[in-house]
Amino acid sequence: MTTTDIFLARQPILDREQRIVAYELLFRTGNTAGVTITDDLHATASVIHHAFSEMGAHAVLGALQGYINVSANMLQSEWVELLPPEQVVLELLESIELTDAVVARCGVLRQQGFSLALDDFVYDDRYLPLLDLVDIVKVDVLLNDRDALRTTVDRLRQWPVKLLAEKVDSAEQAAFCHSLGFDLFQGYYFARPLVLSAKRADPSQLALAQLLGLLLNDAETAQIEQIFKQHPNLTYNLMRLVNSVASGTRHSIASVSQAIVVLGRRQLQRWLQLLLFTLQAGSAYPSPLLLLAATRGKLMELLAARQKRTVDYCDEAFMAGILSLIDTLIDKPLPEIVVELHVGDRIAAALLRREGELGTLLQLVESVEHTDLDRTLTLLAAAGTLSPADLTEAEIEAMSWANQIAEATA
């Protein structure tokens, strides 16, 4: 088993105000030759070494915590002690047999500074020895009906643990768990941008869409500046971003024309795309949508580069990734947005129909977000020149870049 066989994904964990406070790191082993990997200890140890020792925890997690599933073997191994305890939550799988040795080991790890969580929790007296040791209890929404959830929450109030509702897949489930007092939330409902959908677009977001259209069509700088003059708050936000990026220059950038000169239109276009996702009125920060869009766009660009594509094609890949989430922000159907922005045929086909080579890349990135291993392997094969190692390395690089974006715009 090698790190080239590993896919790494992360699913956000949010607090009651919909702020991302952690990620669950989801490790999947893939092997195109069809060999079944049965040594979970070896697989997880390989990922820990690759993602934490070689790349560094900050590349994968930024300043947030990471939840990592551990089996009984992993719990007892020395590998687990290589993890940074201040940034890692050890998630005890429901398959672990709760022996005296397991309980004792949990006590030792807790003394070393690790936080512990119980995964896929359904109330059972066998968990009593651990409830005094763990910090978080993850309650599976799908395994408990509403009455069972209410009863479980009432019982767990005896311990000073945080309650995390996992596998939350709908707005109704999210609202019910929130009303019960759950502290943390995780599930496809929160991982997808649907949760951040707005009824009405911010005027600045609409202006950004106009600016993107102007840049895509190589408009005069004066036309671009005119849009900014109508939106002072947009100019302020853009200058914050540009000054952050151009921090190595001798002087601060004080105007849009300077920004275009210093950054170039290609880089300015990229920052405008990302700025779209920072202007959500009243949204918490870091924005789940910003992080998802930034990661998706950068991952598509990196994968295109690994396919030995041209610079222009890599730019198109980045744009397709970013714009694949734009209809969440702007209260317009995606086909209308695509027409307004005058994107090329390849981007349009990828966005609207998931067709063409860009469409395949977009589907591949989406499959990683949902940790659909079979589909990921199928799409990797369809992409032709990409290997599991390419995907893993690009994922970690894209995560690191998105974390930097979040910090620069905080």
Task: Assess whether 154 and 229 both reside in one domain.
Answer: no
Cα-Cα-Cα-Cα torsion 141, 143, 146, 151, nearest 10 degrees, comes to -100
Q: Are residues 79 and 167 both part of a single domain?
A: yes
Do 325 and 251 share a structural domain? no
Do 301 and 391 reside in the same domain of the chain? yes
Q: For the chain, how are helix, strand and coil distributed in percent, rounded to 5?
A: 60, 10, 30
> Phi/psi at 99 (nearest 5 deg)?
-85, 170
Whether 316 maps to a domain, the answer reads yes
Same domain, 19 and 48: yes
Q: Which two tokens stand for residue 101?
A: 């040795």
Final residue of a domain: which of 278, 297, 316? 278
- Answer yes or no: do 185 and 252 share one domain: no
pLDDT at 7 over 80: no
Check: CB of residue 220 under 8 Å from CB of residue 188. Answer: no
pLDDT given for residue 159 in this prediction = 95
Q: Give the CA angle between residues 320, 324, 330 to the nearest 5°.
A: 125
In-domain check, residue 283: no
Inside any domain, residue 167: yes
Question: Of the residues 161, 191, 221, which one is the last residue of a structural domain?
Answer: 191
> For residue 231, which phi and psi values (nearest 5 degrees)?
-135, 80
In angstroms, the Cα distances linking 99 to 119, 199, 231 are 17, 52, 63
| pLDDT reading at 160 higher than 90 | yes
Q: What is the mean pLDDT of the chain?
A: 79
* Helices vs strands, H then E, count in the chain: 20, 8
Pairing state of beta strands 20-29 and 162-166?
unpaired
Reply yes or no on whether the pLDDT at 49 is more than 80.
no
Name residue 7's beta-bridge partners: 28
Q: Which two tokens stand for residue 173?
A: 């489930």
* Residue 33 in domain: yes
Interacting residues of 139 by C-beta distance below 8 A, sequence separation 6+: 121, 122, 149, 152, 153, 163, 164, 165, 166, 182
Co-location of 321 and 367 in the same domain: yes
Identify whether residues 47 and 159 lie together within a single domain. yes
Q: How do 184-185 and 136-140 pair as beta strands?
A: unpaired
The rounded distance, in Å, linking the Cα atoms of 56 and 363 is: 28
Last residue of a domain, one of 244, 278, 312: 278
Q: Per-residue pLDDT tens for 282-318?
A: 555 556 777 788 889 899 999 999 999 998 899 889 8
Q: Looking at the structure, tell me whether residues 162 and 236 fall in a common domain.
A: no
Taking only the tens place, the pLDDT of each residue in 191-220 is 554 333 333 456 677 788 788 878 877 888
Read off the pLDDT of residues 382-399 as tens digits, 9 standing for 90 and up.
988 898 888 988 988 898
Q: How many domains does the chain have?
A: 3
Q: Quick check: is 132 in a domain?
A: yes
Identify the domain containing residue 400 by its residue range.
Answer: 288-408
What the block records as the tokens of 102 is 């397991």
pLDDT at 287: 66
Q: Report yes or no on 36 lying in a domain.
A: yes
Token output for 114 = 């690790």
Domain-located, residue 196 = no
> What is the mean predicted confidence (pLDDT) over 113-120?
94
pLDDT of residue 118: 94
Q: Which amino acid is at 143?
A: L
Cis bond before residue 288 (omega within 30° of 0)? no
CA–CA separation, 44 and 27 (whole Å): 7
